[in-house]
Amino acid sequence: DAGVIQSPRHEVTEMGQEVTLRCKPISGHNSLFWYRQTMMRGLELLIYFNNNVPIDDSGMPEDRFSAKMPNASFSTLKIQPSEPRDSAVYFCASSLSGLAGGPSGTDTQYFGPGTRLTVL
Amino acid sequence: GIQVEQSPPDLILQEGANSTLRCNFSDSVNNLQWFHQNPWGQLINLFYIPSGTKQNGRLSATTVATERYSLLYISSSQTTDSGVYFCAVSYNTDKLIFGTGTRLQVFP
């Protein structure tokens, strides 16, 4: 398997522009996660889906952020309008979820390479 | 929510040395994972270890869930082990809470 695929790998945009980040999870995985990593806040979960349904979006910073998962092999994270404070590395991860505590370790999360977003 | 503390925050080693990284968590967990973030930013899952001991080559991990800690052992460290090591936990949810990490630098 190719692993989790994210695009673009780097994005530089100007404040106020719309940004769309894309993710293709590992085939067969049923959970997908969007994380953001910054020096100040570390790694924080923004939202996660199970079987294409959003389960917890409490980490989404504000209404400017939205995420969709139209099918099992694709998800997007959109920021509109973007602001300089949104600059960060955004990771997508996927897992075969047993809703935690899976005895065979099926909840292992596999991360994509990340998208480095810079908002000027 | 669950609090995760990792120690030490920074670790500098010479190649060949052994090290132990610690992860303390404040509440019961049934999901604990160790990750390595290499200098290029890639996050690699090392272990899924909610309890017990596992080994993978020069790396091993032990989690004592009743005492709320996990240890990651790195033996005969190599320069390629450099990076940041994260511990992440959860309880009855897929939502992992990450620690702040241990930054490891291995010099030749």
Which residue in the set B41, B50, B95 is minimally distant from A56, CB to CB? B95
Question: In whole angstroms, what is the distance from residue A108 CA to residue B102 CA?
Answer: 20
Instruction: Indicate whether A29 pLDDT > 80.
Output: yes
pLDDT per residue as tens digits for the range A44-91: 999 999 999 999 999 998 899 999 999 999 999 999 999 999 999 999
Residue B66 dihedral angles phi and psi, to the nearest 5°: -65, -25
Residue B48 dihedral angles phi and psi, to the nearest 5°: -105, 110
**Gyration radius (Cα) of chain B, Å:** 13
Say if the Cβ atoms of A33 and B30 lie within 8 Å.
no
State whether residue B42 is helix, strand or coil.
coil
In the prediction, which pLDDT does A61 show? 86
Query: pLDDT band for position B92 (50/70/90)?
Result: confident
Pull the structure tokens for residue B54: 């596992």
Question: In sequence order, which residues have a C-beta less than 8 Å from that of residue A16 and are 6 or more positions away?
Answer: A81, A82
What's the rounded mean pLDDT across residues B53-60?
97
Say if the Cβ atoms of A50 and B94 lie within 8 Å.
yes
Of A87, A93, A83, A101, residue with least CA distance to A35: A93
Query: pLDDT band for position A18 (50/70/90)?
Result: very high
Say if the Cβ atoms of B95 and A45 lie within 8 Å.
yes
Question: In whole angstroms, what is the distance from residue A35 CA to residue B33 CA?
Answer: 16
pLDDT per residue as tens digits for the range A90-108: 999 999 876 544 444 457 8
Which residue in the set B45, B94, B98 is minimally distant from A99, CB to CB? B94
Say if the Cβ atoms of B93 and A42 lie within 8 Å.
no
Instruction: Indicate whether B54 pLDDT > 80.
Output: yes
Say if the Cβ atoms of A101 and B92 lie within 8 Å.
yes
CB A88 within 8 A of CB A61: no
- The letter for the amino acid at B28 is S
Question: In whole angstroms, what is the distance from residue A87 CA to residue A117 CA?
Answer: 5
CB B24 within 8 A of CB B5: yes
Chain B: residues touching A (Cβ < 8 Å): 30-31, 33, 35, 41-45, 48, 50, 86, 88, 90-96, 98, 100-101
Question: In sequence order, which residues have a C-beta less than 8 Å from that of residue B66 and are 6 or more positions away?
Answer: none
In sequence order, the β-bridge partners of residue B104 are B11, B83
Which residue in the set B31, B35, B98 is minimally distant from A107, CB to CB? B31
In the prediction, which pLDDT does A98 show? 62
What's the rounded mean pLDDT across residues B28-38?
94
In the prediction, which pLDDT does A99 show? 55
Picking from A14-18, A60-64, B22-26, B46-50, which range would have the lowest pLDDT averaged per residue? Answer: A60-64
In the prediction, which pLDDT does A100 show? 46
